[in-house]
Structure 1
Amino acid sequence: MFEAKLVQGGVLRRLLESIKDLVTEANWDCSSTGITLQAMDSSHVSLVSMLLRAEGFDPFRCDRNLTLGMNLTSMTKVLKCAGGDDMITIRAEEGGDVVNFLFESPNGERVCDYEMKLMNIDQEHLGIPDTDHDSVVKMPSSEFQRICRDLSQIGDSVEISCSKEGVRFFVSGDLGSGSITLKQNATIDKDEGKQVNITMNEPVSLTFALRYLNFFTKATPLANHVTLSMSKDVPLVVEYLMGDMGHIRFYLAPKIEEDDMATQADDS
């Protein structure tokens, strides 16, 4: 038997909104410690990794490890039936082929029960190694969302460069180029919601597809801050921490520039 109740059901809706355009179906792996999800987008360019801790639910019950294969488009449709303040309970029986969603209004006067068919999804679970990244930037998530949105008007790719001076986002396209630089400002008297904090072992400059970064920023309502972790030749990690509830992380491989490809061809 699996049962998990979210008092703030809106968190689940926002979580789903942040990943449904990247991933259409995924396994929700349930255990006594919580719920995890890991899935790649259809083009295998980006990866989504999510953790919802058992402590974030009240109650949370998982008698045995259980995998719930769900179509995220269908799940989104079901969750849209929940009110903004509703409590959401997810229930599933071991060996069953359906999952139940129970929506309760705060005063308990309205209760909705929906049943959704489960899927058998063959997904490879990737082991993601812990990496000490060369540069880590923590910044307001709303600022990151705005930067990605604004720069995508100019071009398709953004070069993110970290140095002691700050973090620079540069884009170049047919109509011209643009850059936005944020300087470190994590001082004690600075409003924490507006702080930019950079931890750097060595400077990094990598290029990424803005299309995917804009998908990632749909998680902005889940957290006030976002953390960008970068190292040369490894995927960018975009992390949103949801307090004690857990986190959602997006991984995106850097784009190989044409000059680099030409160099590699010469070397071979």
Structure 2
Amino acid sequence: MLEAKLSEAGTLKKLLDAIKELVTDANFECNEEGITLQAMDNSHVALVSVLLEATGFKRYRCDRPMPLGVNLTSLTKVLRCAKDDDECTIKAADEADVLNLVYEAKTSDRIAEYDMKLMDIDSDTLGIPDTEYDARVTMPSSEFTRIVRDLSLLGESVRIEVSKEGVRFASDGEAANGSVLLRQSDSSAIGKVKQKTKTPKKEDEDEVVEVDGEDDEEEAAHGKKKKAVKKEVVDGDVDMDEDEEFQANSEGEEEQEADEDEEGSESGKKRKKSSNSSKPAKKAKTASSSKKGKGRKTDDSDDEGEGGVRIEMNAHVSLTFSLKYLVNFSKSASLCNRVQLMMSNDVPLLVSYDFGQGHIRYYLAPKIGED
């Protein structure tokens, strides 16, 4: 049995709108890891690969692997009956010939239920080999949509060239020619394509583990109460919210001021010294934790590119593709605001959109020779 609940039906609607013109009938392969779709267009020039991870669903259950043969045009019509913010539940029994969709409104008590007939589709899953690309361009998906749409008005093909100058999109038409050049957003030189881009996070995690291990060893060797107290304070700082920590510090300061007024200036001075000696340690810990947090955010922002264009290149690449397909690919811009173009000479172009619940990837064969 399959039961998958999405928090928003709009995600599935946008996904189908992006691929319905490329593929008419396809199998949704369901297993415990999620739902995948892989299909080629009728001309066998483009391939689309979709992944919806099980962790991206609000509730997911799949007892055994099962294919769901669906006509994408019919499924699109059924999904139009749902609002974008409706919760969508997909159900299918084992060896059933009907797909059940339930839409639950978040702002009202409306529950809509639809049944759609499934199809028996014979399709072979193609093995996509791991390819080391010579060039990778990360750019805003809206910019990519605009470029391919504008150039499609001039001609049928576009030449995408990645060089030290940047990435250039050029189209030659019968009446006019046009080209768009995108340079690297920052002033740094164009980098090389790297396979691993998240190593800083692992180093941060290793550092935290080592610190905890040192505290444990010191406590076991010396057995002092002071270090046990320090460890409890650190753990409390980690688990405590910022508001609670601020309140705890303010309450401690108020109690100290009250005690100083009652017991006199000498005892007040001593307490001030002790409080001042303990406060810098807390501040240092929170500062270090905030630095780590900031470091992780900057890593994420580097991966996202912050809305600019990032170019990584190991070799000069120049390929020609059909604009008709690229225009269809660009419809996935509603799912993600970033797009990656992966290229190598004489290798299909990879256009990848990664969103919160999975990804959609397109593979397009380049044109060889003259049209």
Q: Runs of 4+ in structure 1 displaced over 3 angstroms?
A: 186-193
| Aligned Cα root-mean-square deviation (Å) | 1.6
Partners in 1 of 2:109 and 2:186 — Cα distance?
47
Match of 2:365 among 222, 233, 253: 253
Partners in 1 of 2:92 and 2:85 — Cα distance?
23
Contact 1:102 1:113 in 2 (8 A): yes
Q: Which residue of 2 aligns with 1:119?
A: 119
One-letter code aligned to 1:240: Y
- The higher-RCO structure (CA 8 Å, 6+ apart) is 2
2:337 is the counterpart of 1:224: yes
2:256 is the counterpart of 1:143: no
Q: Which residue of 1 aligns with 2:61?
A: 61
Which structure dedicates a bigger proportion of its chain to helix? 2
Q: CA deviation at 1:207?
A: 0.1
Partners in 2 of 1:254 and 1:2 — Cα distance?
38
Contact 1:4 1:91 in 2 (8 A): yes
Flag structure 2 segments of 5+ consecutive residues without an equivalent. 188-297
Partners in 1 of 2:164 and 2:335 — Cα distance?
29
Partners in 2 of 1:27 and 1:204 — Cα distance?
34
Q: How does 1:136-175 map onto structure 2 within 5 Å?
A: 136-175=136-175
Contact 1:140 1:193 in 2 (8 A): no
Bigger radius of gyration among the two = 2
Partners in 2 of 1:192 and 1:160 — Cα distance?
21
TM-score w.r.t. structure 1 length?
0.93
1:55-81 CA-to-partner distances (Å, cap 9, x unmatched) read: 000110001011000000000000000
SS in 2 for 1:257: coil
Partners in 2 of 1:241 and 1:43 — Cα distance?
26
One-letter code aligned to 1:198: I
SS in 2 for 1:258: coil
Which structure dedicates a bigger proportion of its chain to strand? 1
Partners in 2 of 1:82 and 1:200 — Cα distance?
43
Q: Which residue of 1 aligns with 2:185?
A: 185
Flag structure 1 segments of 5+ consecutive residues without an equivalent. 260-268
1:78-125 CA-to-partner distances (Å, cap 9, x unmatched) read: 000001211111000011101100001013510000000000001121
Contact 1:193 1:225 in 2 (8 A): no
Partners in 1 of 2:305 and 2:16 — Cα distance?
27
TM-score w.r.t. structure 2 length?
0.68
Q: CA deviation at 1:258?
A: 2.4
Q: Which residue of 2 aligns with 1:38?
A: 38
Partners in 2 of 1:181 and 1:197 — Cα distance?
13
Q: Which residue of 1 aligns with 2:249?
A: none
Contact 1:193 1:224 in 2 (8 A): no
Q: CA deviation at 1:186?
A: 4.6
Q: Which residue of 1 aligns with 2:78?
A: 78
